Structure 1
Amino acid sequence: MTTRASSALTRLPRGLSRLGQCQLCRSWQSQPICAACLAAWRHPIRRCLRCAIDLPHDHPDTVCQACEDQSPEFDRAIVAVDYSGPWPGLLTRLKFQGATALAKPLAQLLAEAVQTRRGRTNLVIPVPLSRQRLRERGYNQAWLLTRQLGWQLGIPAQAGILERPQHTQRLMSLSAEDRLLQIQAAFQVSPHEQAAVRGRDIALVDDVMTTGATLNACARTLLEAGARSVSAWVVARTPAPGKNGSLQPTQETHRLT
């Protein structure tokens, strides 16, 4: 860059030099996902009040049959979107490709969902990674989301309360039964943070919920350590089996590239 061009860039209005492209429509703006795309790709979905799985429109109850048969350890799950459409790609970039700037708009989506059913919550914490996984990735995407949520909702956010001393296989490649076996004893409350858990109403934050095995194991660990209640806050929920996963925007947006 020439000296003249560099000088001109420094004289741009504040914030303009940080312009980038929306990760969905490729329009030029200051956020990694523009407001139009956030609105267009977020669909209202009727969900189970316990596990947040999508319910058929003609389902007679507010709780799915699986939760009626065996209630999860957490008292409620709140999710922003289904794991379909553009969301899997964005979450993959956040989780595996270092696109950490996506944590802010994705947390914003989740914060808006939480505001409708927040309930009593006085601490938000992330689902932890094992030390090996944290070294491989360099960051915990759940903590990036948790930190943003705490700031946006005005709730204390803290990492390090829940630990994952056991390293497990990547759960996304396992069956539901194998996930459960892998995760049952994978978590513990840090010996230094026992007092931080007792009597607290805690929200567990993660990026994706599939079977709920990980969140269930975390919730059980926190409740056994004395937490008063545990809820699950997740950006995306895998749709119910057999649901058409194709998702179209709800309004006209810039053409995707």
Structure 2
Amino acid sequence: MLQAAFPAVARIGNALAGLVYPPSCIGCGGGTGEPHTLCGKCWAGIRFIERPYCERLGTPFAVDLGMPLVSPAAIADPPVFARARAVARYDDTAGKLVHRLKYSDRLDLARALGAMMARAGAELAGEADVVVPVPLHRLRLWWRRFNQSMELARIVAESQGKPCDPFLLERVKRTSPQVGLSRHQRAENLQGAFKVPESARPRLKGKRVLLLDDVLTTGATANAASRALIRGGASAVDVLAFARVVAES
């Protein structure tokens, strides 16, 4: 009898909490019908990335030619990873959400952002054997106190029924901040930054990895991490981010 009453008590408790602390938009703080969601205005402010896009890089095309295509950029400079996908362009609302998660200790945002990533990357997650977050160097992790990529990876893995293993990849080099660096400088900065621990190689061998990060910029971090994973025994690596920088033509 008591166990049967627990769900009803929980619903009443949630309703009372909603009266005292009404749900608010994770973007602007305005009122919403449900917690951990966006209001209509903020939702409209997100520029979602949907097909048609480059099947390798996930960058959107301006015109739909009715068939899967690979962009000239992916042909000229093929990435180490197999495929990349992202929820939205890194601008306006999407950029603010990532910044708040990353620098304002807004861990509550991980649930909403991770759920959107799970939908955008459902195809990649369905083919993956394991989900791996892009790791932080231990000193940066100590300073920031949490890894936002790990929080997103946990949500994506749970929603897709996949294991999440943050110990398959580690960041062994404390790199300089990537902000303001060119594509070439970013790649140089990340040389030797990642490795697969010897103890993790048996768990990684032959696995298809879904690598999770918050933002995909030039792809330098994704390439460096993917290269380390493949050298460590992974069969292939796909990349999923919440936002990606898209150069406007």
TM-score, with length taken from structure 2: 0.85
For the residue of structure 2 that corresponds to 1:21, the secondary structure is coil
Question: 1:56 aligned to 43, 46, 62, which one?
Answer: 62
1:114-193 equivalences under 5 Å are 114-118=121-125, 120-193=127-200
Larger CA deviation: 229-238 vs 171-180:
171-180
How many pairs align? 233
* Residue identity matched to 2:85: I
- Equivalent residue runs for 1:1-257 within 5 Å: 13-16=12-15, 17=17, 19-25=22-28, 26-34=30-38, 36=40, 40=44, 41-45=46-50, 46-57=52-63, 62-118=69-125, 120-240=127-247, 242-243=248-249
Distance 2:26 2:75 in 1: 39
Q: How far apart are 1:13 and its partner, in Å?
A: 2.2
Deviations along 1:36-68, one digit per CA (max 9) or x if unpaired, are: 567533535432111112223277971111111
Aligned to 1:254: none
Tell me the distance in 2 between the aligned counterparts of 1:182 and 1:37: 39
Q: CA deviation at 1:191?
A: 2.2
Counterparts of 1:23 and 1:177, CA distance in 2: 35
Identity, % of aligned positions: 30
Q: Which residue of 2 aligns with 1:7?
A: none
Does the 8 A contact of 2:172 with 2:195 survive in 1?
yes
Q: Which runs of 5+ in 1 are unaligned?
A: 1-9, 244-257
**CA shift in 2, pair 1:117/1:12, >3 Å:** closer
SS at match of 2:157: helix
d(CA) in 1 for partners of 2:49, 2:127: 24
Higher relative contact order (CA 8 A, sep 6+): 1
Counterpart CA distance in 1 for 2:85 and 2:147 is: 20
Distance 1:11 1:203, change over 3 A: closer
Residue 159 of structure 1: CA displacement?
1.0
Rate the CA distance shift 1:11–1:192 in 2: closer, same or farther, 3 A: closer
Distance 1:11 1:91, change over 3 A: closer
Root-mean-square deviation over aligned CA pairs = 2.3
Q: Structure 1 residue runs of 4+, over 6 Å off? A: 58-61
AA aligned to 1:93 is: R
TM-aligned CA deviation for residue 185 of structure 1: 0.9
Number of the residue aligned with 1:248: none
How far off its partner does 1:172 sit? 2.1
Q: What are the superposed Cα offsets for residues 179-223 of structure 1, whole Å, 9 maximum, x if unpaired?
A: 010002100012221111101011000000000000001111111
Q: 193-202 or 30-39, which moves further after superposition?
A: 30-39
Alpha carbons 1:203, 1:230 under 8 Å: kept: yes
- The residue type equivalent to 1:22 in the other structure is C
Structure 2 portions without partners, runs of 5+? 1-8
How big is the shift at 1:109? 0.8
TM-score by length of 1: 0.83
